[in-house]
Structure 1
Amino acid sequence: MIQLINGLKPFIENYQCFIVDLRGVLYDGDHVNCEALSCLKYMRHSGKKVCILSNAPRRSYRVIERCAEMGLTSDYYDFLLTSGEDAWLQLKNAQLKNEPENLYYTFNKKVFPIMAERDYGFLDDLDLEPVHDIQKSNFILAIGWDGITRTIDDFYPLLDQALISKQPMICVNPDLNVIHKGKEELCAGSLAVYYQEKGGKVYYHGKPHPEVYKTCLEKMGLHQEPTPKVLAIGDSLHTDVYGAHQANLDALWILGGVHAAELGLHQSNNNQPNNNQVDDYETKANMERLCIRKNVKQMPKIAMVNLIL
């Protein structure tokens, strides 16, 4: 049974470190959740480590800059890691070091990029040659698309061609979808699932895959502890809750994020669920049903609508 809580403060003393999702927890794509920032501030003042772990398919420094512009400055956390940074470092190390065990050591330079124009900076300082004919590329780099000039349907025929030549795909954002201004937007993870189900080889970076959690624990100095007391906080069952389970961490499920509509949570004018309108009995029933429908193997330990003290 998932425990539905009204505030995190009573639980903070039980943990050494908190691994916190960005989108859907700390901000909605446009605005920062000020109550969540107060929660981070309290964690750090209590001597706890705070690591922000995001499936943003961009370099960490870019996300840090954007967060600071919105008021989420570096004094709220100890470390910030993106799936984009994890992928970029893996690609860069494959080019710099003669390490055959590196996943991408044998990859050719010619890459078919699935990315919006704003994301081409990801290729900076990487010795890669972007090509726009998938029959001439050696692997696919899936970051995302703008949703305006192209839709996910535009990529299915291209991926079918890549399957013939057995090109591997690097998925830089395993999220299936996000909610932006109340509307669903599909992410690179949706393409990766399609490609994998068709028999394609996919290399993932980010949640729910254990490697990024290991990096977070290393940065927090907890990687050598047999059972570190860490709480992973996120809104997605697919990435945050499942990722915590994969990494043997406790999970706090934030209900007011990507699954809010599925959970029947009412929304206010700013597209955020209203804490005052939550019916505990109905919400708990919806939580259980959704976990069953999503085939969640390990239920989260606790849940709350939005991250607050």
Structure 2
Amino acid sequence: MTKLIQSLSEISTNYDALFVDLWGCVHNGVTAYPDAAAALQTYRKGGGKVVLVTNSPRPWRSVAEQLKGFGVADDAYDAIATSGDSARAAMFLGAVGSKVYHIGTPDERDVFFAPMDLVGDEAMEITPVPLTEAEGIVCTGPFDAMADPSVNRADFLYAKQKGMKLLCANPDIVVDRGETREWCAGALAALYTDMGGESLYFGKPHPPIYDLARRRLARLGSVSDESIICIGDGIGTDVMGGLGEGLDTLFITGGLAAKEFGDDPANPDPARLSTWLSEQNLAPTAAISFLR
């Protein structure tokens, strides 16, 4: 049964490391959540390790710079594992070919296609090309985050007929930037799959990003899976992914699904939470309104 708690400190002494989601947990896409950052700082002062595990399509250094801009202090975490790094490694190893059609913003393209040390001498030269010249698709996000994913249907039909694979750099379906809900790359990948195409995923809830997170953690010291808890607001990403890896999970109710638990995000209704989790057929170890 999922335990509803009021602060991270109620359970944090049971764990040596946290795998912490970012968007909706530590920041809202615009600014940091001060209480969340403070909770992570306190945990680290007590000897715990914090690995930020995010479905951002960006390399970890780019995410670190972004966090500074949001107001998240460097001492709130030890390492960052991104879906972008996991997906970039696969791309440079030829997962979708050497000539790829990129779906995403120019800024994402600049950072995603930058050279990568992780794969070393095995790295393939990747060339962004028009769809008609491509061997595969790399999706870091929609061209327009407010446009319905169905605007890609014609291109996806062509790509499916050509047997192209789609590399999804961010499995999230939607995200809230401040008060605005935006589509993510996962929504496009889901559409492509529904149309009969093949999508490759590297972020939560899929195994590659957890492998990367564990490798980031191993550099900080030896920590067993029993001493790790995954924290986040995505029931189908953070919670499902953590449970799939055999890890404990802490569900943030005040994020994407906040409206499911009553009118006050800071005080989720326990009965509604229990019913909703049963409908999801998932049972996180604990739940909290906001990370604090």
Q: TM-score, normalised by structure 2?
A: 0.89
What is the Cα deviation at residue 191 of structure 1? 1.3
Q: In the alignment, what sits opposite 1:7? A: 7
Distance 1:223 1:162 in 2: 44
Matches within 5 A, 1:1-309: 1-92=1-92, 94=93, 104=95, 107-121=96-110, 122-125=112-115, 127-132=125-130, 134-147=131-144, 150-221=147-218, 227-266=225-264, 273=265, 275=266, 278=267, 283-293=269-279, 295-296=280-281, 298-308=282-292
Equivalent residues of 2:52, 2:80 under 8 A apart: yes
What is the Cα deviation at residue 177 of structure 1? 0.8
Gaps of 5+ in 2: 116-123
What is the Cα deviation at residue 28 of structure 1? 0.5
Distance 1:144 1:109 in 2: 20
Q: In the alignment, what sits opposite 1:99? A: none
Equivalent residues of 1:86, 1:205 under 8 A apart: yes
Distance 1:148 1:42 in 2: 35
Identity %: 29
Q: In the alignment, what sits opposite 1:98? A: none
**Going by fraction, where is helix more abundant, 1 or 2?**
2
Distance change in 2, residues 1:45/1:302 (3 Å): same
What is the Cα deviation at residue 183 of structure 1? 2.8
Partner amino acid for 2:200?
Answer: Y
Distance 1:227 1:150 in 2: 40
- The range that moved more, 45-54 or 195-204, is 195-204
Distance 2:150 2:247 in 1: 36
Instruction: Give the 3-state SS of the residue equivalent to 1:112 in structure 2.
Output: strand
Gaps of 5+ in 1: 96-103, 267-272
Equivalent residues of 1:145, 1:151 under 8 A apart: no
Q: In the alignment, what sits opposite 2:121? A: none
Equivalent residues of 1:256, 1:265 under 8 A apart: no
Distance 1:223 1:288 in 2: 36
Equivalent residues of 1:214, 1:223 under 8 A apart: no
What is the Cα deviation at residue 10 of structure 1? 2.2
Instruction: Give the 3-state SS of the residue equivalent to 2:32 in structure 1.
Output: coil
- Aligned residue pair count: 282
Q: TM-score, normalised by structure 1?
A: 0.85
Distance 2:41 2:169 in 1: 30
Distance 2:145 2:226 in 1: 44
Equivalent residues of 2:172, 2:186 under 8 A apart: yes
What root-mean-square deviation, in Å, do the aligned CA atoms of Structure 1 and Structure 2 show? 2.1
